Amino acid sequence: MDQLSLSNPVFAAYAISAALMILKGVAMSWLTVIRMTAENGGFRNPEDMKKTLVNPRPNETQLAPNDRVERIRRIQLNDLENLPYFLVAGLLYVTTTPSLFLAQFLFYTYVLTRMLHFIAYYTAQIHDIRAALWTPGSLIIIYMAGSTFGSAVW
């Protein structure tokens, strides 16, 4: 269990990366709410049409899809499809006692590519750019999971 302690620099690097990715994931929910409020639309549920202090003048158009709100939701969905794998693979990878340099490279590169992917998605860059930013992170997850598997089997 010494490996899963902040006194282990590899685990500390993972903890920093994991915390940043968790904060980014949670921030997406807030960004969705901010965008829905700014757009006064993109709501999904009929009960959101009730008159409240936050929504003093509800109207049916608020339930219509809103491209700007939906873009944020797609970014969040992409995070939900990717971040859990990183969180688990990274934690398991720590137990393989990798070199600090390699672990930091993998963890921090993952964080960097996810942040750049967010910017590309948020600014409506073409799929090729988003894919080029997504691919390194996916390969990092595969590498960490494969390395963990190999360490456990052999």
Our measurement of the distance from residue 69's CA atom to the centroid of its chain's CA atoms, rounded to an integer in Å, reads 17
Alpha helix ranges (H) inside 1-154: 9-39, 67-94, 100-122, 127-153
Q: What is the pLDDT of residue 3?
A: 85
Q: What is the pLDDT of residue 134?
A: 97
CA count, 13 A, side-chain hemisphere, 118: 20
User: And the tokens for 126?
Assistant: 């073409």
Angle at 56 between CA 35 and CA 34, to 5 degrees: 15
The pLDDT of 7-21, averaged and rounded, is 97
Judged by DSSP in three states, 88 sits in helix
Q: Per residue in 21-35, pLDDT tens?
A: 999 999 999 999 999
Backbone angles phi, psi at 7, to 5 degrees: -75, -15
* Residues 106/148, Cβ–Cβ less than 8 Å: no
Q: Per residue in 3-12, pLDDT tens?
A: 888 999 999 9
Q: What is the pLDDT of residue 1?
A: 64
Q: Per residue in 52-99, pLDDT tens?
A: 998 899 999 999 999 999 999 999 999 999 999 999 999 999 999 999
In the block, tokens 């965008």 appear at 35
Angle at 82 between CA 77 and CA 87, to 5 degrees: 125
